[in-house]
Structure 1
């Protein structure tokens, strides 16, 4: 999609550490969050979003899309752009942050379904140039964050480059070089630890198995089958127009637009995708609903273990293969979350893919930066989940 270039803004130095926080505050979060009684009328839901916007450090804008079969409800509050005051729209572009990990899962599991990859394939077999100490790690362990791979985004050398130039153009396929001298953090499969390195390795395995660049695999295996027309994986920092502007909201300072603060080459398959609420709705309904691969692969994907997304999603959290199960008081949703400077995301759907919720806020909210606001966000997300599920227990899957 053509990108209109405008004069770049020089971000204040105080916003740059947010890059590190979004990449390094990845230990599992608490599984539960306080909830409060909720009517599920659109006006009541809209008031809850307005409360989020008015909260200290809250996002300038929020948009939620609830879809049940062919019925779509869009609930929003605040603005997409503080300069113009226009409201958020489902076709606005946005950074989806770690929800991009679900896309790498979609690619990998589609290749497993086709027989090009196996969940038991190891890094040693598929990527022999990586350190011998990592050779036994399997694709399955990468996808459910039990690999033990050291997180490249915590590397002092990586962070030094990023702080010096947030828009630095990294070689995305060499990001793991920043931790190539480090052993595994623990024996593969022995415990859960969320790591940005995992999904970089997943994308590299997909490329090695097919001889095709990851960006093309996304187009052929995900975008095209699910009808995604406004989703891309850029290398630079520019946002396609129109877009939800993302802000650093750190009172008493005024909000600062950080939509184009960092380039995406340094997060790539782990968090670099740009999409829209409308496309994310189409994606999560197909992906969580198992539309991209057969039942055997879906069964493997839904082998749940203890583990939370980052930030944690609504209700109790469990980890599958590039997918999380969110057990709310009203039923189960499957999906993924993400956060990065200017954005916090949730995309989730029922196990059959019929009902879905995408929930996008235009500031970064996680347990390190804004723990109280994260609790409020998760409570509101659970209320929206209940409005979607209409209070009926949908069981577990």
Structure 2
């Protein structure tokens, strides 16, 4: 949708980056912290259903926004609505005592999230292709597509309400607040800080790629917005599960137990670095698609391993709270800065269709090098491994 929105409202890449990044992530991050504090002792299914209602309203407001400030406000509402969903899900998923099952559950959850974003690109592209530039019920094609993509949320709300029937709410115990999570992170900062940095770098790579890949394909290879969304969505839909599921399964495999999390995290970053170089130097669509595929796998592989290690290093009673703090941090850095920095570099780093491609190459390369360096620095003494 970004190319159409950019054209209609006369926006530059920085403004699009602000719309996709900080407008969503700022209130989302603070909402995560609040949800992490209050989620204990509440029915997670009902909390999740309420979140979906709010973010659906934000999606509708975005689709009907008359101007850029209204779109920013809608993105803020969307972020607030999604904020408590993740802590509610973590409360259910991290109750597993077995480390292997917990890792697989978390990787499956993050796979579902990535698959949903990818499917939205594919469905959005298909909707744009179907209307072929024609207005739908008096709405521009991108507005109609956004509204159509919000409809499945109604089914999700019904499923969450139905699933929450009869669910016993666990009484909140002392020591389950946000302050307790911060105290744990402070006491063990030498272990958690590297994972926070690595996770932020991984999410920054993922979000920068997801936000700008349709625009790169549109500008560099003369694809229509519909075609660009379909190709970008198909690549992400095909390879995002490989990264997320692969990370969870590899960490719990004999390979993961032998080498530990540090080398695996560095390997994911290395794959992303090689892939973004391939994307930046691509002369044809197949090579660009291969670069996007590698970025998708490397980013997802790294992000899920960092999340699994954070949860494994945390006492069960504090996992939703520590998870909320972790996700708030990586969201502020990764979601907030990834799309925005790419837009700023694109606007000020040159002209022509290749400016955006080199901008994402620069941003992702820095994130990958920093993340890999931190992972390798701690790999020798296995400081990132929950099993040690």
TM-score normalised by structure 1 residue count: 0.27
- Higher normalized helix content (fraction of residues): 2
Decide which structure has the larger Cα Rg and report it: 2
